[in-house]
Amino acid sequence: MMRFALRWLALFLAIGAFAHGAAAHEVRPALVQIREVGARDYDVVWKRPVVGDMALRLKPHLSGGALDKPPTFEQVAPGYVTRIWQVRGSAALEGQTLEVEGLSDTVTDVVVRVSFRDGRTFDQVLKPTKQQMTISRARSAGMAVPAYLLLGIEHILIGFDHLLFVLGLTLLIGFNWKLVKAITGFTAAHSITLALAALGYVHFPSDAIEALVALSILFVAVELLPARRRANGVTQRRPWLVALVFGLLHGLAFAGALAEIGLPPEAELPALLMFNAGVEIGQLLFIGALLAVVSVTSHLTEGTVYKSRWAALAPAYFIGTLSSYWLIERTLAAI
């Protein structure tokens, strides 16, 4: 009994440490918005995500040195810190290098939006592996909305909570026709709410939505328990319905990634479609990876590992413990 208790204690401590690490790594994008208003004049808006009471240690730099001075305005809001520089009589914007210090130490992205006074604009995404870019009018052959495709892919692949829901759903259903219908329902639902929220038609508190997302993961974890599976409830009979309902919540959470940086003016719909397509690509990549892992391990162990009692309980307890941690944390944050 003592060994059993110690094993479960070690497991819960490990899960708690993983949950804390997952929560501590911010995945929402930061934003640098530069608007040229004169030959040597421009405004710079810098939006940096905040985790609890701590802001990510990111700092933008322009090679001309304009951002090394104190900002003209600074505002702290839930989830973000915003700084604005009104640069006048400085070095010309054309040809300068923009770099975000500290980006390599995070898992977040920085969306860069540049608007020139002649009307030309472009968007680009800086990543931990690519921390700088050169500002040039030659790049601005219209809005670079494919940047939102990459943003969508990366958002889902490093979104631990969304991937955990997909993992639970896949383990619950298995790799069969029901999974195709469930994923289709999940996709349709979150595409609808993502579009409505991103375009400003619906508004929900982000903290409350994140707590409900955690609750949806916990629900799937409970349904994974052998006793629940033997009960043959609605999740077993109509998994697409569960995926459809919870997909509405996850779509609102996806919209949170776009809420603060916004969609590029006059290209809202293409950018939104790109982001949504990126989310779907990332989701399919994850399911493909799961299928590969299951196929390889099943072949190596001749399927015996999936017949053990531990194999039946471990996924439910792992997903359930992690989602419970998130549910408590996010509920307290919402309150």
What mean pLDDT do residues 97-102 have? 92
Query: What CA dihedral angle connects 113, 117, 119 and 120, to 10 degrees?
Result: -50
Where do we find the tokens 């969508």? 152
- Per-residue pLDDT band for 48 (boundaries 50, 70, 90) equals confident
Say what angle helices 2-24 and 309-334 make with each other, to 10 degrees.
Answer: 50
Weakest-pLDDT range from 5-9, 164-168, 195-199: 5-9
Q: Is the pLDDT of residue 146 over 80?
A: no
> What pLDDT is recorded for position 62?
93
Give the residue with greater pLDDT, 258 vs 141: 258
Where do we find the tokens 């860069």? 112
- Per-residue pLDDT band for 27 (boundaries 50, 70, 90) equals low
> What pLDDT is recorded for position 26?
44
> What pLDDT is recorded for position 83?
92
Q: What is the DSSP letter of 102?
A: T
> What pLDDT is recorded for position 87?
92
Query: Can you read off the two tokens belonging to residue 184?
Result: 């289709």
Work out whether the CA dihedral 262, 266, 103, 21 comes out positive or negative. Answer: positive
- Per-residue pLDDT band for 142 (boundaries 50, 70, 90) equals very low
